[in-house]
A and B are shown apart, each in its own frame.
Chain A
Amino acid sequence: MIFRVLDPTPEKTAPLGQKAPRLDTLRGKTVGLISNGKEGSKGFFAHIEDVLRNDYGVANVVLRTKPNYSAPAPAGILGEIKSWDAVISGIGD
């Protein structure tokens, strides 16, 4: 007896994103940090900011913390990204 059965998965993949162009240097740039606010992230990002400024010559560091670490960053934070030169997000832990 032949069983004809159906695929239970969406069968569609998300449309591919594209990589952004890279920077020549971090010196003088603005780097945005998007933190998920989990335990330890505050200290971690404080060090990230320090190292970016002192060792990489970054001019401005903006820290934004997501109000809910289990959800994607809200529109307000995403809207600010266009005023930055690069983004570092974390921490998946």
Chain B
Amino acid sequence: MQLASRTYEADSIAAVQELYHSNGWTDGLPIVPPTEDAVRACLERVMMTPDQLIGIEPVRGLPIVAEKLAINAVMAGCLPMHFPVVVTAWMAMMREEFLMHGATASTGGCAVLVVINGPIRQEIGALGSFNALGNSDRATAVIGRAIRLCLINLMDVRPGAIDRSTLGHPGKFSYCVAEDEDDPAWPTLAEQRGLPRDASAVTVMAAGAPRQIMNEWTTKPEEFLETFAAEMRANLRHYSIHPGNYALIIPQQLREHLRAAKWGPRDIAAFIHERARIHRREWADVGKGAVVRDRGDSVYPAMQSADQLLVIAAGGPAGGFGAVIPPWLGDKSHAVTLPIGACVDCEPPPSLKGSLP
């Protein structure tokens, strides 16, 4: 397998680190040297040629090829078994509705939340249990990191350059969660979004940082889900009033109460859609009185429809905790779900047809 990338030689691990850091090719942490063998192994795992076109980034019309994704994945610490998830996540991000350039360049500073579903989780040891939103396991750590390195190196998304994030958040190092699918009666996120349960799939969402809530004082869904809704209302007040995809992370303890009450993701979404909304006049309570104007009675829901809610089962077994993950900015970017191993659609997006050589 002939690779096309330029090669460099360095005489030690330390020299490799300095080469990559000094060129701005890292996230600040040490990288795994991307050797030809390691890159080939990733490409073989997904049965792609180095020059296989993954897609064309719409704003610049830039072709993204498998070899370059593999180099960045290896740098992040990915093994060949992690690479199918990286490729699928990137393909999902390249969909027009994701709006990759806007999402990754914006001052709003979101990161790309990657959710993994299906049998691949067991293959790669992606756990969805303890510390699900932190450093839960090697697979989610390196897959999330690969996404960031691809953005840095393939799209110039560097702080102060294309990345204009004022603050950003720690998810920009790695923001990858595997869903806990132990309960066969609980619809997975992929199923909620229309895929079969036995397909492995990846969902990407342009997302802010997670906000943890706690309610261990009731077993009634309407009560502890109200706590999630309150956190979303706070986001509407404190951050952005625009409706879009929100993700809820619901760990095991709360899911047990939901199962006992026969509530599933659809019921949760319907409830949250109703409860997570504010009046414009509430902005005056949080220092934003200047923009209430004469529209104080206008109602702003967190989501335009219940199906904009992503309900994700993950987290350790104990604790009445949950998390709300808000969108970057309303529905400018739409979450995208793709099955792993689906046919690669290499056609340029309609807006670019005819303008490429």
Contacts and interface: CB of A to CB of B under 8 A. Distances in A.
Interface of A: 1-12, 14-15, 68, 70-72, 74-75
A12 B63 CA distance: 10
A17 to B, nearest CB: 12
B62 A8 contact: no
Contact of B351 (A3, A68, A74): A74
A6 B39 contact: yes
A75 B60 CA distance: 15
Contact of A9 (B33, B153, B357): B153
A15 B75 CA distance: 29
A13 B3 CA distance: 19
A7 B10 CA distance: 13
Contacts of B75: 8
B149 interface: yes
Q: Report the 5 A-B pairs with minimum CB-CB distance, sorted nearest first.
A: A70-B102, A8-B153, A7-B6, A6-B5, A8-B71
Interface string B304-330: 000000000000000000000000010
B295 to A, nearest CB: 15
> Which of under 10, 10 to 19, 20 to 34, or 35 or more describes the interface residues of B?
35 or more
A10 B62 contact: yes
Contacts of B214: none
Interface in B98-117: 99, 101-103, 105-106
Interface string B70-105: 011001000000000000000000000001011101
B2 interface: no
A9 B329 CA distance: 29
Interface in B1-21: 3, 5-13, 15-16, 19-20
Nearest to A74: B351
Contact of B16 (A3, A11, A12, A72): A3
12 contacts: A2-B10, A4-B9, A5-B10, A5-B34, A6-B35, A8-B68, A8-B75, A10-B62, A11-B6, A68-B99, A70-B103, A74-B351
B69 to A, nearest CB: 10
A82 B19 CA distance: 47
Interface in B24-63: 25, 33-36, 39, 58-62
B311 to A, nearest CB: 27
B103 to A, nearest CB: 8
B150 to A, nearest CB: 8
Given A70-B99, A75-B351, A6 B7 contact: yes
A61 to B, nearest CB: 26
Nearest to A9: B153
Contacts of B20: 5, 8
A14 B6 CA distance: 18
Contacts of B10: 2-3, 5
A72 B101 CA distance: 10
A68 B332 contact: yes
B36 A6 contact: yes
Nearest to A11: B6
B61 to A, nearest CB: 8
B59 A72 contact: yes
Contacts of B332: 68, 70
A71 B62 CA distance: 15
B60 A14 contact: yes
Contacts of B99: 68, 70-71
Contacts of B59: 71-72
Contacts of A68: 99, 102, 332
Contact of A2 (B5, B11, B34, B68): B11
- By CB atoms of chain B within 10 A, which of A5, A10, A15, A71 has the most? A5
Contacts of B19: 5
A7 B101 contact: no
Given A71-B99, A71-B101, A71-B102, A5 B16 contact: yes
Contacts of A71: 59, 99, 101-102
Given A1-B11, A68-B102, A71-B101, A8 B149 contact: yes
Interface string B118-153: 000000000000000000000000000000010001
A25 to B, nearest CB: 31
